[in-house]
Amino acid sequence: MTWLEEALSNPVITDRVPEATLQTIWMTGLSSLITVLLGLPLGLALVVTAPGGLRPSRTLNTVLSTVVNIGRSIPFIILMVAIIPLTRLLTGTTFGWQSAVVPLSVAAIPFFARLVENAVRDVSPGKIEAAQMVGASRLGIVGGVLVREALPGIVGGITVTVITLVSYSAMAGALGAEGLGALAINHGYQRFQADVMVVTVVVIVVLVQLIQMLGDLAVRLVDHR
């Protein structure tokens, strides 16, 4: 019997891998959605309140930057443990893929906010000045100029963030979350089932490649420069 035949005859692979894959997709997808919904306005606020921004505010910008920097500096595995009370408050549990959405989102929001900030800063100041000359409001400039012109960079940032969340979701498996990471740890590592480890790694690699391909396609679709 070949290695592949042995792997396909393993009930952990045939029964648990599809379920774990869906769990990983769900926790990554939901945390990505929350990250974009909260991280996008946070990144825009960093740009708008910065010196030379549409509405400069040194105090607010310093506070936001500090919060973002603190969020980015805490390793995910430590962050996941530190916010267990918040996770239990919001989800009612600290086990399962649903509970992992909370720390995944908290970890990814400041990361994505910085990506948004960097993308928006690349927008030509001349386009902002042109919008101001025709009487556009601050909100109109943010949505119609900053976001629109930085959209390829923002979409690229979303792609990077989603791929990062796939990696984080695997680490979350070490602390009670479900998904491919938990399967690799519980069976591939602790029970010395090398075939399970190999299959989970292959599935994760395939997921990352698909996300990157879709992200690159989306960037090309929104890039009209």
Q: Which long-range contacts (CB under 8 A, 24 or more apart) does 204-209 make?
A: 204/24, 204/166, 204/170, 204/180, 207/21, 207/24, 207/25, 207/166, 208/163, 208/166
Q: For residue 65, what pLDDT is reported?
A: 94
d(CA 222, CA 219): 5
Mention every residue, 6+ apart, whose C-beta is less than 8 A from residue 172. 27, 76, 80, 100, 103, 104, 179, 181, 182
Residue labelled with tokens 């997808």: 29
Q: For residue 54, what pLDDT is reported?
A: 83
Q: For residue 102, what pLDDT is reported?
A: 94
d(CA 67, CA 49): 14
Considering the chain, what is the average pLDDT of its residues? 87
- DSSP 8-state code for residue 94: S
Work out the widest C-alpha separation in the chain, in whole angstroms. Answer: 74
Q: Which stretches in the chain have pLDDT values below 50?
A: 1
d(CA 94, CA 84): 7
Which of 113, 110, 120, 116 minimizes the C-alpha distance to 53? Answer: 120
pLDDT in tens, 94-127: 788 888 999 999 999 999 999 999 999 888 888 8
Q: pTM value?
A: 0.90
Q: For residue 9, what pLDDT is reported?
A: 61
